[in-house]
Amino acid sequence: MQGFAGVVVFRQNAVLMVNEPNYFTLEPTWTFPSGKIDAGETPVEAAARELAEESGCLVDAASLVLVAVADVWQGGTLMSRSWNYSAETTTTATLSPRAREGEIVTDASWFEQSDVIDLLGESNYPPKAVPARHFLTTGEGPLHWAFDLIDSSTTVPTFRWGEPVRQH
């Protein structure tokens, strides 16, 4: 099972987004900072690291608040689990993704929250977008989501999911 972690960062009424190629279509897309959890790393440590790498925005991992866990299942097998956190910052530092080998983020910027909700609504990867969009719309969390991967044979996979349950 693969593990991923991300963070939705607020600065007053703005939300931090990064631009990177869509995993499936390779088209540029705006999303929140996230990535794989490295060996020996906790989800919260990975979220803070990914945020720093992809945007240059620094937050203390201890200040992150869990808002969602998303499981991706296929044929009864747990394929991946993602932990999504939120954070607040007052930084006015210039955002700058780290230019290092393997890094695919090309830009980072602050967006109005309503624009972020719209951008996430256009995503073709519900396990990442749906929990974040729900959190941004309702403020509700932490929630545990389960996504069933129905068809992965096309460029954009098909998922099915139900209502989340409260995470303890």
Domains of the chain: 2-166 (3.90.79.10)
Which helix (H) or strand (E) covers residue 161, if one does?
strand 158-161
Tell me the whole-structure pTM to 2 decimals.
0.92
Average pLDDT across the chain, whole number: 93
Q: How far apart are CA 137 and CA 168, in angstroms?
A: 21
Per-residue pLDDT of the chain (168 residues; tens, 9 = 90+): 899 999 999 999 899 999 988 878 888 899 999 999 999 999 999 999 999 999 999 999 999 999 999 999 999 999 999 999 999 999 888 898 875 556 688 899 999 999 999 999 999 899 999 999 999 999 999 999 999 999 988 888 999 999 999 987
Given 3-state DSSP classes, what are the helix, strand and coil percentages for the chain, each rounded to the nearest 5?
25, 40, 35
Please tell me the predicted confidence (pLDDT) of residue 100.
58
Assigned token pair, 100: 């290092």
Q: How far apart are CA 29 and CA 100, in angstroms?
A: 20
* C-alpha distance from residue 94 to each of 57, 97, 107, 126, 154 (Å): 8, 10, 11, 30, 39
